[in-house]
Amino acid sequence: MIFRRKFIAVVILLILIILLQTRVPESQKVFRGIFGNILNPVLYYTEMTTSYISNVYNDYINLVGVKKNNEELREKIRQLKLENSILSEKLTEYNRLKKLLNFKKAYDFRTIACNVIGRNIEGFLKYIIIDAGSTDGVEINDAVVSYEGLVGKVVEVYRSSARVNVILNVNSYVSVMNFNTRTVGILSGDGEGKLVVDFYDKLDEVSKGDLFITSGLGGLYPKGIPVGNAVKNTESVNGIFQKIFVEQKVNFYKLENVLVVKDEE
């Protein structure tokens, strides 16, 4: 009831003010000043609040847009990293195959290019598996090389693959010669993943770093293929020969591409 009376009084007051402004124009300035003093602060803070809310909303929208852009950029970066990795691998493979091709050009024999698809270098019997077999012309006892040097020989042949025993095996028995002195010896694995040359003339002087290559004797391995470099030499038990320890040229743990050697062209 009291609220109703107050409401009616306010309405009547507003009507009187409107009538007064209509009949007495000079009073408009007075009432504008009064109402301006009352309403302007309210309008000011209302506008400030509205502006703040609007800015917060716009900032939120912008942040959402920035987050989306960041996610898109991160995805592009991931794609670029993947593409870079693929290109880097292709470049590495290209360089590897180029070296293999240059190696092939240096020798006069026919070859079959293969990929290494399996390996066991840690076991007692050390070998690799290649992706070429009888249908490709691979045969038992074919020599296998990489651009670094001698790998081993084929010991088992299947239709589309073959097993190659590497020269690290104790029974590999490769006839080799010192590139500098032309002295011949028999190379094989020492059972610990290293190479050693036995039956090497005790009187021949061997220097650290001397290159050993295949001698061509025995007809199994073509002559002139790099095998390894001398690390040290010791006198054999019988005192007639000296034993040469050799560091192999080929990194068998990273071997990926090889050539199966056929007859000379």
CA distance 122 to 130: 18
Residue-level pLDDT at 231: 92
Give pTM, 2 decimals.
Answer: 0.65
- Size of the chain, expressed as the number of residues it contains: 265
Cβ atoms of 157 and 173 closer than 8 Å: no
CA distance 242 to 251: 26
Terminal Cα distance for the chain, rounded:
121
Residue-level pLDDT at 234: 75
Residue-level pLDDT at 140: 95
pLDDT for 74-116, tens place per residue? 766 766 665 665 656 566 665 666 666 666 666 777 889 999 9
CA distance 109 to 103: 11
Residue-level pLDDT at 28: 47
Residue-level pLDDT at 238: 67
**Between the CA of residue 262 and those of 13, 128, 173, what are the distances in Å?**
117, 18, 20
Cβ atoms of 241 and 199 closer than 8 Å: yes
Q: Which residues of the chain have pLDDT under 70?
A: 1-52, 54, 56-57, 59-60, 63-67, 75-76, 78-106, 235-238, 264-265
User: Which neighbouring-strand residues pair with 74?
Assistant: none
CATH class entry, domain 174-254: mainly beta
